[in-house]
Amino acid sequence: MSGSERDGVFADLVGQERVVEELRLAVRAAAGVGATGAAPADAAVPGAPARSRSAETGRGMTHAWLFTGPPGSGRSTAALAFAAALQCPDQGCGHCKECHTALIGSHADVDVVRTDALSIGVKETRDLVRRSALTPAGPGWQVIVLEDADRLTEQAVNVLLKAIEEPPRRTVWLLCVPSTEDLAPTIRSRCRLVVLRTPPAAAVADLLVRRDGINPAMAAYAAAASQGHVGRARRLALDERARLRRQDVLRVPSALQHLPACFTAAANIVEAAAEEAREATGESDAEETRAMRRALGEGPGTRGLARGSAGVIADLERRQKARATRQQRDGLDRALVDLASFYRDVLVVQLGASVELVNEADRPAVEGAARAGTPAATLRRLEAVLACRESLAVAVAPLLAVEALTVELLAG
């Protein structure tokens, strides 16, 4: 039996052996088969005696879980794999109908919630809470996987809190956030914490070769360049345009020779992110709009859109705009991560640290920048990049934020 077959639904969760073991123990408890063969039937029941509550034992099942870890560590992958294992009669075999439908998002009792917007509001959360109260269609659990739970508004958190405090017997909430600080204390205190780490580059490269059939050399490059971010590594390995955009970002430090160059570089970075967002959303937005207009009565042999359709179309356009905005912000964040990796490498060379460079292929440029500056100046530049990331996270105008960054990088 190969490693991937043995790991079943957890095969794509790389470098997280401790987490996989923890989740497997919970799945066994949920199925009524504890580590010693006992059957803690009430382990998932709110209000059960303290001795059976998994939050205390660290081994059994509980009704609310919080998956945390840095970007690319596999928070959503872990949550979805756990959801599939809870539905599987063999506790996560990876090849049965229950596993397959849960992993691709079509299982009747697994609700995967992703948002294309910058926030999750009250209306969406109330709809989600209503769905969570449904009785499972099958013998397993009603599982709600809420990706980007850190995007919940304050009012949405209050709506979710009551549902997590008093969940139905067979309902499980799986929330995903980068860190515990990204979620309200009232929510995180009621969840069992699962902490993922950044997977080693070698493990990510192995996954790309095994799962996606990527050339080992390309897989190794993508894994290192992504700094252990599995999704980004796959994108870099398969998309030449993504690799070219990354190279453009890595050329920015050497291009900042004078003030006009700073504004040009900032404009190029922001425009590249906007173009990437258009590529990601343009075709799907157009098809979504066509489908909506057809559903509202537009088409050959009709009199046009039904009365009252303007509001529906306007709401769709607002959602599409929000999706494009998030795509652009995500693209900018990726660019800033790449820029930070360059200055990290410069600092490594300046300090003579015996660690691998993230951008080994760009070593000449890294060493040139190292000779031209000091560790203190490099550290200031690295901190400026990280501060810009934080600014963009709170809806600062992207161009202004990046212009301020490039000017600061020039000043050193």
CA distance 201 to 219: 9
Name the DSSP letter for residue 151. G
- pLDDT at position 302 is 67
CA distance 404 to 411: 11
End-to-end CA distance of the chain: 55
Confidence of residue 295 (pLDDT cuts 50, 70, 90): confident
Residue 297 pLDDT greater than 80, yes or no: no
Averaged confidence pLDDT in the chain: 85
Residue 160 lies in a domain: yes
Within a 10 A sphere around the Cβ of 35, how many other Cβ atoms? 11
Q: Which of 238, 265, 300 is the last residue of a domain?
A: 238
255 contacts 365 by C-beta, under 8 angstroms: no
Average pLDDT score over residue span 214-234: 92
Residue 246 lies in a domain: no
- pLDDT at position 181 is 87
Same domain, 207 and 190: no
Same domain, 183 and 207: no
Same domain, 183 and 226: no
Sign of the Cα pseudo-torsion (299, 301, 302, 303, in order): positive
Q: Are strands 171-177 and 192-195 parallel, antiparallel or unpaired?
A: unpaired
Q: How many angstroms from the chain centroid is the CA of residue 380?
A: 28
Confidence of residue 237 (pLDDT cuts 50, 70, 90): very high
Dihedral of the alpha carbons of 135, 138, 141, 143, in degrees to the nearest 10: -80
Query: Which residue from 91, 37, 166, 143 is spatially nearest to 99, judged by alpha carbons?
Result: 91
Same domain, 265 and 326: yes
Residue 17 lies in a domain: yes
- pLDDT at position 59 is 55
Q: Which of 126, 161, 195 is the last residue of a domain?
A: 195
Tokens (6 digits) for 290: 């066509």
Same domain, 346 and 405: yes
Tokens (6 digits) for 275: 């173009």
Residue 352 lies in a domain: yes
**DSSP H stretches of helix in 307-397:** 309-351, 363-372, 375-393
CA distance 321 to 289: 12
- List, for residues 248-278, the tens digit of each pLDDT value: 999 999 999 999 999 999 999 999 999 888 8
Query: Which residue from 157, 154, 182 is spatially nearest to 71, judged by alpha carbons?
Result: 182
Percentages (nearest 5) of helix, strand, coil residues in the chain: 60, 5, 30
- pLDDT at position 244 is 94
Same domain, 52 and 147: yes
Q: List residues bridging with 64 in a β-sheet.
A: 173
Instruction: Compute CA distances 56 → 51, 52, 78, 86, whole Å.
Output: 8, 8, 21, 20
Same domain, 189 and 206: no
Q: Which helix (H) or strand (E) holds 111?
A: strand 110-113
Residue 245 lies in a domain: no
- List, for residues 156-192, the tens digit of each pLDDT value: 998 899 888 888 888 999 999 988 888 888 898 999 9
Same domain, 212 and 270: no
42's torsion region: left (phi>0), alpha (psi -120 to 50) or beta? alpha
Residue 244 lies in a domain: no
CA distance 40 to 34: 7
Same domain, 105 and 45: yes
Q: Which helix (H) or strand (E) holds 146?
A: strand 142-146
Average pLDDT score over residue span 137-163: 88
- List, for residues 302-353, the tens digit of each pLDDT value: 666 766 777 778 887 787 787 788 788 889 999 999 999 999 999 999 999 9
Same domain, 278 and 211: no
Instruction: Compute CA distances 301 → 78, 239, 297, 305, whole Å.
Output: 49, 43, 10, 12
Any idea what the CATH number is for the domain that residue 11 is in? Answer: 3.40.50.300
Same domain, 109 and 222: no
Residue 77 lies in a domain: yes
Dihedral of the alpha carbons of 18, 66, 164, 323, in degrees to the nearest 10: -140
- List, for residues 281-294, the tens digit of each pLDDT value: 777 778 878 787 77
This prediction's pTM: 0.72
Same domain, 283 and 225: no
Q: How many domains does the chain have?
A: 3
Within a 10 A sphere around the Cβ of 137, how many other Cβ atoms? 10
**Which domain, by its residues, includes 372?**
254-411
Residue 161 lies in a domain: yes
Within a 10 A sphere around the Cβ of 356, how many other Cβ atoms? 10
